[in-house]
Amino acid sequence: MPDEERLAVEEGLSYPEDSAGRMVQRNIIAVPGAWTVGQVIEFLRTEEELPSEFYEIFIVDPLHHPVGMVSLNKLIRTDSNVPVSEIMNTDPKIISADKDQEEVAHMFRQYDLTSMGVADESGRLIGMITVDDVVDVIDEEAEEDILRMAGVRETDITESIFDASKNRIVWLLVNLGTAILASMVIAMFDGTIEQMVALAVLMPIVASMGGNAGTQTMTVTVRSLATKDLTSSNIKRVVLKEFSIATLNGAVIAIIIGGLSFVYFDNSLLGFIISAAMIINMVMAGLAGILIPVGLDRINIDPALASSIFVTTVTDVIGFFAFLGLASIFLI
């Protein structure tokens, strides 16, 4: 390929994978701030190598550092003798070429952008990213998060049986360890279960409801982290909100399951115990569903990949321990 194109490709490949530098479109329109609107329009009419699609024109200084941006809409509505420096937006949204593509998508959402400039490490404008590029990124990241929450990858469908198995077995082994931990809690109360078979019947209900409640909160939290809606400034308010939701939902479910247990087993104390265990487990599930993803994110572990295993462990262990512990105290 021509030397100019080869150098552009090599420069793009020098940036990290899934970064702004890999997404950048090199063909942009950048003009000096001293040009008038008429000069810019004449340039657009005569220049042969314009981008196929563009929405804004970048204003640069002599070192090619971006100092402003003018939308086409504003350009064609302004008198031709006015310098573009007088009508430009002096706070153009520029992102570093080494920034991750998720950060790019977040900025497009946050500022409702149609295009954004990309600068190298020296601050020199090297290209732009348009909204149609970001739509692809958003779809890609959403699909990746969904697959990671299940512990699989997109490439699993094309990989060999051995490679796909190797990718999945790690998290299955972690899950096995957490399942053993839950079973050890049950083993602590084996004598209690032997004396009252109803406990074995009701145990899965407590764990299942807690798991579902934790998954709901976890899904909302992982999405909020991905979209930057959940930050250190609002984490306390969000935790309090999820605690309130979990308490309310736990109370409703507790009344229903407590009443059904009383009717079916003709034991009011059993109904009270499962109701109390249900509230405890659903409140803990709500807290785990938000605190675990946030904690993993703080230590740079993808919450979409690891949260579900730990949230399920918390709900199983707390659910079994609360239900069987209360039963051993008040029923046996």
Here the CATH number for the domain that contains residue 91 is 3.10.580.10
Are 65 and 192 in the same domain?
Answer: no
> Is 284 within the bounds of a domain?
yes
> Is 174 within the bounds of a domain?
yes
Instruction: Give the Cα separation of 87 and 93 in Å (integer).
Output: 16
Mean pLDDT throughout 131-137?
A: 83
Are 181 and 301 in the same domain?
Answer: yes
Q: Which of 100, 129, 158 is the last residue of a domain?
A: 129
Instruction: Give the Cα separation of 77 and 72 in Å (integer).
Output: 9
Q: In the chain, pLDDT over 90 holds for what percent of residues?
A: 44
When pLDDT is cut at 50, 70 and 90, the band that residue 34 belongs to is very high
Are 287 and 192 in the same domain?
Answer: yes
Q: Tell me what pLDDT residue 147 has.
A: 62
Instruction: Give the Cα separation of 118 and 141 in Å (integer).
Output: 20
Instruction: Find the range with the poorest average confidence among 39-43, 250-254, 310-314.
Output: 310-314
Mean pLDDT throughout 207-222?
A: 90
When pLDDT is cut at 50, 70 and 90, the band that residue 276 belongs to is very high
Mean pLDDT throughout 125-152?
A: 75
* 115-119 sheet: strands from edge to edge: 94-96, 115-119, 125-130
Are 192 and 256 in the same domain?
Answer: yes
**Residues 37/44, Cβ–Cβ less than 8 Å:** no
Q: Tell me what pLDDT residue 18 has.
A: 83
Are 26 and 106 in the same domain?
Answer: yes
**Residues 251/279, Cβ–Cβ less than 8 Å:** yes
Q: Tell me what pLDDT residue 281 has.
A: 94
Are 317 and 174 in the same domain?
Answer: yes
> Is 247 within the bounds of a domain?
yes
18 Cβ contact list (under 8 Å, min separation 6): 100, 101, 102
Given a cut of 80, whether residue 124 has pLDDT beyond it is yes
Strand partners, 68: 59
> Is 63 within the bounds of a domain?
yes
**Residues 288/245, Cβ–Cβ less than 8 Å:** no
Are 115 and 173 in the same domain?
Answer: no
The tokens describing 264, both together, are: 């079916």
Q: Tell me what pLDDT residue 109 has.
A: 83
Q: Angle between the 303-330 and 131-149 helix axes, to the nearest 10 degrees?
A: 40
Are 225 and 124 in the same domain?
Answer: no
> Is 81 within the bounds of a domain?
yes
> Is 314 within the bounds of a domain?
yes
Opening angle at CA 215, ends 212 and 216, nearest 5: 90
Q: Tell me what pLDDT residue 146 has.
A: 64
Given a cut of 80, whether residue 35 has pLDDT beyond it is yes
> Is 21 within the bounds of a domain?
yes
Q: Tell me what pLDDT residue 49 has.
A: 83
Q: How far is CA 296 from CA 128, 221, 240, 252, 288, in A?
A: 33, 12, 19, 31, 12
Instruction: Find the range with the poorest average confidence among 6-20, 135-149, 204-218, 265-279.
Output: 135-149
Given a cut of 90, whether residue 27 has pLDDT beyond it is no
Are 272 and 211 in the same domain?
Answer: yes
Are 33 and 102 in the same domain?
Answer: yes
Q: In the chain, pLDDT over 70 holds for what percent of residues?
A: 91
Q: Which of 74, 97, 129 is the last residue of a domain?
A: 129
Beta strands in the chain (DSSP E): 30-32, 56-60, 66-71, 94-96, 115-119, 125-130
The total of structural domains in the chain comes to 2
Q: Tell me what pLDDT residue 169 has.
A: 78
pTM above 0.85, yes or no: no
CATH number of the domain at 229, please: 1.10.357.20
When pLDDT is cut at 50, 70 and 90, the band that residue 8 belongs to is low
Q: Tell me what pLDDT residue 148 has.
A: 63
Provide the Cα torsion 193, 196, 197, 200; round to 10°.
Answer: -40
Are 228 and 320 in the same domain?
Answer: yes
- Residue 250 is classified by DSSP as H
Q: Tell me what pLDDT residue 191 has.
A: 83
Q: Which of 129, 160, 181 is the last residue of a domain?
A: 129
Are 223 and 121 in the same domain?
Answer: no
Mean pLDDT throughout 238-259?
A: 93
> Is 265 within the bounds of a domain?
yes
Average pLDDT for the chain? 86
Given a cut of 70, whether residue 236 has pLDDT beyond it is yes
Q: Tell me what pLDDT residue 154 has.
A: 55
Q: Which domain holds residue 287?
A: 169-330
**pLDDT tens readout for residues 139-185:** 777 666 666 665 555 555 566 777 767 777 777 788 788 888 888 98
**pLDDT tens readout for residues 57-97:** 999 999 999 999 999 999 999 999 999 999 999 999 999 99
